[in-house]
Amino acid sequence: MTTENIRTYDVVVIGAGPVGENVADRTTAAGLSTVILESELVGGECSYWACEPSKALLRPALLRADAVHVPGLDPAVKNPLDVEAVLAHRNRMSADWKDDGQVEWLKSAGIELLRGHGRLTGEREVAVETPDGDTVRLRARHAVAVCTGSRAALPPLPGIEDLRPWTSREAASAQQAPERLVIVGAGVVGVEMATAWQALGSRVTLLARADGLLPRLEPFAGELVTERLREAGADVRFGVSVVGAERVGDGEVRVTLSDGGEITADEILFATGRAPRSEDIGLDAVGLTPGDWLATDDSLTVTAVAGNWLYAVGDVNRRAQFTHQGKYQARVAGAVIAARAKGDQLDTGRWAPHSSTADLEAVPGVVFTDPEVASVGLTVSEAERTGRAVEVVDYEIGHLAGALQYRPDYRGRARILIDRDRQVVVGATFVGPGVGELLYSATVAITAEVSVERLWHAVPAFPTISEVWLRLLETRRDS
Ligand SMILES: Cc1cc2nc3c(=O)[nH]c(=O)nc-3n(C[C@H](O)[C@H](O)[C@H](O)COP(=O)(O)OP(=O)(O)OC[C@H]3O[C@@H](n4cnc5c(N)ncnc54)[C@H](O)[C@@H]3O)c2cc1C
């Protein structure tokens, strides 16, 4: 690299998704000159093809599912959703796939944007291929943060290139509802998109390889979601995978299943996991393998590269693939980069500002289905796998006055896990309409390490679903 055409900044951030934006915000606020690179739209997957559009599709579906069960309100919502209006709302919530607003925000925060595809070319060096074919060379005085995110992973199915399947991107941005939609995969994306498109008029078939939905969560979560999806008319099948799929004559998809069955549909969505966007970012130039997830320590520093200058933040490090968790990591990484730039010692204790420990102990996540699933911390199977001695307390949320006020046919369950030695909550799962908003209370209980005895003095209001906390404590006392 010759010096004359190299631009130097304190920090170079590759990828302007929610995570890259937040790293850049923190380093800029700390007085470090920062450039952020983006090859598509500023705002990343979350704004245009993931969180925002998917939740805009789901909100009307979930609200209607609640409303049809509320006496007096049911006649007002007996008609199906207005699909055109929902899709138009979704388009607005995705900013019509334009990033002007987010570009303005970068400007207002003092962050320099460079459009183009970034690749590492050596220690603290990045080359950017700009949309007009130029190459801009960058050098970072202190840090390069890789925030390139993840993309949908497709299974190695023969002929998949010609199949033109939906991935999460098409499922979140489609401009009309397919008449028949096959969804492969029973994780969060699969069940959320099944819920949305079934409510928008598609006939959904959801195929799960395992014997339940949402296999990483408490089993009762998948069971309750399965019940409601089936009641809504979706065909949910377990223990089955796709062994072949092709587009036939008139554009239909013919799907062959492992149990010998066949399904014909208009679209097929593979919601079969994520892959890192790291195959073409120059990892080989710094001794790493293209296409790998980037492993980091709790300071978000890439462990396999010496010198504490390379960071991987957000989906690409695979620690906890949520926007909120990536933004938390971004706050940590920003603080670490600024501290190292100033020569300060890192404070790396538990829950310290330079340590991304929430990734390991308290990751909150909501699945926006009917019923909602909200979880944070350990599940029973994780506690067993990691040898943690826990007490498990369950409560049927539908017994609460607040739940019956919310929706008279309320079905739901709560579970907390209490660490036997420390007597603090280490895991919580709530399943039921409206439980997403309960999750922060559980996250605070876990991260603040509130003793179970002390929780008796956190009085939940009557009649709300948050009374589930009191019932869980009473159930434990009486058992
Ligand atoms: C359907 C779906 C729904 C979801 N819903 C939720 C939800 O409700 N809540 C939640 O918390 N999470 C949700 N997620 C997860 C969430 O979208 C991700 O965790 C989040 O987007 C990760 O942010 P990121 O910045 O790490 O990556 P991304 O959002 O993927 O952003 C990475 C950015 O880097 C850019 N980039 C990549 N390579 C380069 C390069 N070489 N040069 C320049 N730019 C580059 C990309 O163009 C992109 O803009 C959902 C995911 C999916 C698929």
Q: What is the pLDDT of residues 155-187, one digit of tens each?
A: 999 889 899 999 999 999 999 999 999 999 999
Is the pLDDT assigned to residue 2 strictly greater than 70? no
Q: Decide: 205 and 182 in contact? Cβ < 8 Å.
A: yes
Is the pLDDT assigned to residue 341 strictly greater than 50? yes
Give, as one character, the DSSP assignment of residue 474: H
461 exposed, middle or buried (CB, 10 Å; 0-12, 13-18, 19+)? Answer: exposed
Percent of the chain with pLDDT over 90: 96
Residue positions forming the annotated binding site for FAD: 55, 118, 148-150, 315
Look up the CATH superfamily of 160-272: FAD/NAD(P)-binding domain (3.50.50.60)
Rounded distance from Cα 150 to ligand 1 centre (Å)? 6
Sheet holding 242-247, edge to edge: 242-247, 253-257, 262-265
**pTM score of the predicted model:** 0.97
Is the pLDDT assigned to residue 279 strictly greater than 80? yes
Closest ligand 1 atom, residue 49 Cα? 1
Task: Decide the pairing of beta strands 34-38 and 112-115.
Answer: parallel
Fold of the domain built from segment(s) 371-478: Enolase-like; domain 1 (3.30.390)
Is the pLDDT assigned to residue 1 strictly greater than 70? no
Candidates 3.50.50.60, 3.40.1160.10, 3.40.50.2300, 1.10.260.30; CATH matching 3-43+99-151+275-359: 3.50.50.60
Is the pLDDT assigned to residue 239 strictly greater than 60? yes
Same topology, domains 160-272 and 371-478? Answer is no
Distance between CA 62 and CA 86 in Å, rounded?
A: 12
Is the pLDDT assigned to residue 14 strictly greater than 90? yes
**Average of per-residue pLDDT across 246-265:** 95
Residue positions forming the annotated binding site: 55, 118, 148-150, 185-192, 273, 315
- Residue 3 banded pLDDT, cuts 50, 70, 90: very low
Classify the phi-psi angles of 116: left when phi > 0, otherwise alpha if psi is within -120 to 50, otherwise beta.
left
Rounded distance from Cα 44 to ligand 1 centre (Å)? 5
Give φ, ψ of 77 to 5 degrees: -120, 20
Query: pLDDT, tens digit, for every residue of 118-150?
Result: 999 999 999 999 999 999 999 999 999 999 999
Average pLDDT, the chain: 97
The whole-number pLDDT of residue 250 equals 84
Rounded distance from Cα 300 to ligand 1 centre (Å)? 17
Residue ranges lining ligand 1, Cβ < 6 Å: 14-20, 37-40, 44-46, 50-51, 54-55, 117-118, 147-150, 168, 172, 189, 277, 281, 314-315, 321-324, 326
**Average of per-residue pLDDT across 267-296:** 98
Task: Say how many C-beta atoms besides its own lie within 10 A of residue 145's C-beta.
Answer: 30
Distance between CA 428 and CA 415 in Å, rounded?
A: 6
Beta strands in 234-348 (DSSP E): 235-237, 242-247, 253-257, 262-265, 267-270, 274-276, 310-312
The whole-number pLDDT of residue 5 equals 75
**Average of per-residue pLDDT across 100-126:** 98
Is the pLDDT assigned to residue 432 strictly greater than 50? yes
Domain limits of the chain?
3-43+99-151+275-359, 160-272, 371-478
Query: pLDDT, tens digit, for every residue of 61-87?
Result: 999 999 999 999 989 999 999 999 999
